[in-house]
């Protein structure tokens, strides 16, 4: 990427971050308050009332971690979906690699994600979570999370240029996906191991469980406990990069036509 493109990427990220909560009374504090409010609702309903996760130590912290991971994926894909259309005026005025627009959305969401990770760390300290020595490997799981989110964002951004109906469809997919991912419940609640094994092929489910395992409580189950075949176990780790490659290829194939279609 040339220096001009780096500068453009930087400016797009700064602009997006400045406009995120512009005009609101709390400003960028909403980056922390929003996930905390959602966490509070989920905790009261699913943990206190329904008893989810009571068999798991520090489940409140695990719930918060799962939510911010899911929110990062949701934010990157939702904003990525409309990013090209929203920047239509810029596309018609300047000639630059169009993928920078989608990448800027992902970077902006990632900054928000890192801020929220500090909140998880704070609650982890309050809950006396013993940080494992394997916590140093956490970035190795965050890399495929970013790759998967960006790859899906590329695909959605391309589709939205042609089919605007994809937005409400994606909202439904995200809602269903959240309940199909072990965020508000522990895997121990599911008695059918075949169903759990199928769920864990989802990269988001595997990343959430792996990070819970190394950051919060080693008793959090991971994919290796349900699938013994090492090649199948590798799927959720390889799939994010396959999706990124495929999404980028699709995006580049159609990028030159975006300005005239929009």
Q: Is 240 exposed, middle or buried (0-12, 13-18, 19+ CB in 10 A)?
A: buried
Domain edges within the chain: 3-261
Q: Do the Cβ atoms of 32 and 119 come closer than 8 Å?
A: yes
Q: For residue 50, how far is the Cα from the chain centroid?
A: 26
To the question of pTM greater than 0.85 for the whole model, the response is: yes
pLDDT (tens digit, 0 to 9) for every residue of the chain, 262 residues total?
667 778 888 888 877 777 666 655 555 666 677 777 777 777 777 777 766 766 677 888 888 899 999 999 999 999 999 999 988 777 777 777 889 999 999 999 999 899 888 888 888 888 788 777 788 888 999 999 999 999 999 999 999 999 988 999 999 999 999 989 988 887 878 878 888 889 999 999 999 999 998 988 877 888 888 888 889 999 999 999 999 999 999 999 998 888 777 7
DSSP string, 26-82: SGGGHHHHHHHHHHHHHIIIIIIIT-TTTTSTTHHHHHHHHHHHHHHHHHHHHHHHH
Nearest in space to 157 (alpha carbons), one of 73, 245, 83? 83
Measured distance CA(20)–CA(262) in Å, rounded = 24
């Amino acid at each position: 990427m040339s220096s001009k493109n780096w500068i453009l990427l930087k400016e797009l990220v700064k602009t997006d971050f400045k406009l995120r909560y512009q005009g609101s009374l709390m400003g960028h504090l909403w980056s922390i308050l929003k996930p905390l409010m959602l966490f509070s609702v989920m905790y009261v309903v699913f943990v206190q009332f329904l008893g989810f996760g009571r068999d798991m130590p520090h489940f409140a912290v695990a719930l918060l971690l799962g939510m911010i991971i899911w929110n990062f994926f949701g934010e990157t894909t939702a904003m990525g979906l409309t990013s090209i259309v929203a920047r239509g005026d810029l596309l018609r005025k300047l000639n630059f690699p169009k993928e920078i627009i989608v990448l800027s959305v992902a970077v902006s969401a990632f900054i928000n994600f890192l801020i929220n990770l500090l909140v998880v760390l704070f609650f982890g300290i309050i809950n006396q979570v013993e940080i494992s020595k394997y916590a140093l490997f956490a970035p190795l799981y965050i890399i495929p999370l970013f790759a998967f989110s960006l790859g899906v964002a590329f695909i959605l951004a391309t589709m939205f240029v042609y089919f605007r109906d994809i937005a409400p469809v994606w909202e439904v997919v995200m809602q269903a996906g959240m309940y199909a991912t072990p965020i508000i419940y522990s895997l121990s609640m599911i008695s059918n191991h075949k169903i759990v094994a199928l769920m864990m092929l989802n990269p988001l489910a595997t990343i959430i469980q792996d990070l819970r395992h190394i950051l919060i409580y080693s008793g959090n189950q991971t994919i290796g406990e349900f699938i013994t075949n090492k090649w199948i176990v590798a799927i959720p780790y390889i799939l994010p990069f396959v999706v990124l490659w495929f999404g980028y290829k699709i995006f580049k194939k159609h990028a030159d036509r975006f300005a005239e279609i929009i």
